[in-house]
Amino acid sequence: MQPTELIDAIRRPLSPDTQVEVPATREEYDQVCEVIESEEMKHPQLLYDSARSVAIVVAAPSPLHSGMASEIMVQLGMKSGRS
């Protein structure tokens, strides 16, 4: 069984900070996770909601949010270094 709809969803360009839900079985999700791991893809990330049987494709964060996260980590590191 080829999870083509889910594969298509992870391969198409997604706008930053978006999520796409794709109906999928757990087996399809696991197959696509193996593809992501074998290709060492950092984004998109893939989650699974077993209650609804959907895979959730999470796009990379926008540069703004990515920069904010980096700044927060720097600030946390500076505060923990002072203690």
pLDDT digits (tens, 9 = 90+) for 1-30: 457 889 998 888 888 888 999 999 999 999
User: The whole model's pTM is what?
Assistant: 0.68
Of 8 and 68, the structure prediction assigns the larger pLDDT to 8
Q: What total number of domains does the chain contain?
A: 1
Q: What is the pLDDT of residue 48?
A: 97
| pLDDT over 70 at 54, yes or no | yes
Report how far apart, in Å, the C-alpha atoms of 29 and of each of 14, 19, 34, 47, 63 are.
Answer: 19, 15, 9, 8, 28
**pLDDT for the residue 71:** 67
Determine the pLDDT at residue 74.
Answer: 72
Model pLDDT, residue 72: 67
Residue 1's pLDDT is what? 44
Confidence check: pLDDT of 67 > 60: no
Element (H, E) at 43: none
59: domain range? 4-82
Return d(Cα 22, Cα 29) in angstroms, integer: 10
